[in-house]
Amino acid sequence: MLNTPKKSLWGEIQHCDTLCPGVFLVYTASHGGIMVSKDMEAVLSPAARKCGMRANGYLCFEEDTHENIVFRELLDKKLWAIPDRIKDKAAYEENINKALREYHPDYWRARERGREKSQARQTVPVPAHSDR
């Protein structure tokens, strides 16, 4: 199901951009958001998946605040890059983070816990092998 969506819960799709295979940024006359195909849902963390709405066979994240969850997840996994048209990429990324901290604090805390665990696993010293 990596084809572009035909319908959205926000109305008739007027334009659709592919962020990565199976993840689509859709625009309608009045609203829009990100639609993630069933085949790509596993790319998102459990905390992110809990924030989406199911419709038309997709996990959907509306444009006002929910789509930032998908942007953050794709950036973290290096599946999407901030477009070149955005000149201040650091500011853009911080705006995503700020919106998540404000509007989705549970998601943000889960993300931070996951990052801390990942960093701890990477810094655990490996015991030296002994030939005694």
Cα separation, 49 vs 8, whole angstroms? 18
Cα separation, 80 vs 61, whole angstroms? 16
pLDDT at 3: 82
Query: Are the beta carbons of 11 and 18 closer than 8 angstroms?
Result: no
Listed in sequence order, the residues at least 6 apart from 106 whose beta carbon sits closer than 8 Å to its beta carbon are 47
Of residues 66 and 123, which shows the higher confidence score? 66
**Global pTM value:** 0.87
Query: Are the beta carbons of 86 and 92 closer than 8 angstroms?
Result: yes
Does pLDDT of 114 surpass 90? no
pLDDT at 116: 74
